[in-house]
Amino acid sequence: MKLVQLLLVGSVFLLPLGAHAQWQWLDKNNKKVYSDQAPPPEVPEKNILRRPGAPPKRLNFSTPAAADAAATETAAAAPSTPSPPPAAPKAAGVDKELEEKARKAEEAEKAKQAAEAQKLAQAKAENCGRARQGKATMDSGIRVARVNAQGERIIMDDEARASEQKRLQTIIDADCK
In 3D space, the residue among 29, 24, 54 whose CA is nearest the CA of residue 39 turns out to be 24
Q: In the predicted model, is pLDDT for residue 114 greater than 90?
A: yes
pLDDT at res. 58: 52
Q: Is the dihedral of CA 169, 170, 172, 177 positive or negative?
A: positive
SS3 assignment, position 21: coil
Calculate mean pLDDT across residues 10-30.
75
Rounded to two decimals, the pTM is 0.39
Q: In the predicted model, is pLDDT for residue 166 greater than 90?
A: yes
More confident residue, 28 or 114: 114
CA distances from 33 to 38, 42, 45, 115 (A): 11, 14, 14, 46
Q: In the predicted model, is pLDDT for residue 124 greater than 70?
A: yes
Residue 34: partners with Cβ closer than 8 Å, 6 or more residues away: 22, 23, 24
Please, is 144 exposed, middle or buried when counting C-beta atoms within 10 Å of its C-beta (0-12, 13-18, 19+)? middle
Q: In the predicted model, is pLDDT for residue 104 greater than 80?
A: yes
Q: In the predicted model, is pLDDT for residue 47 greater than 80?
A: yes
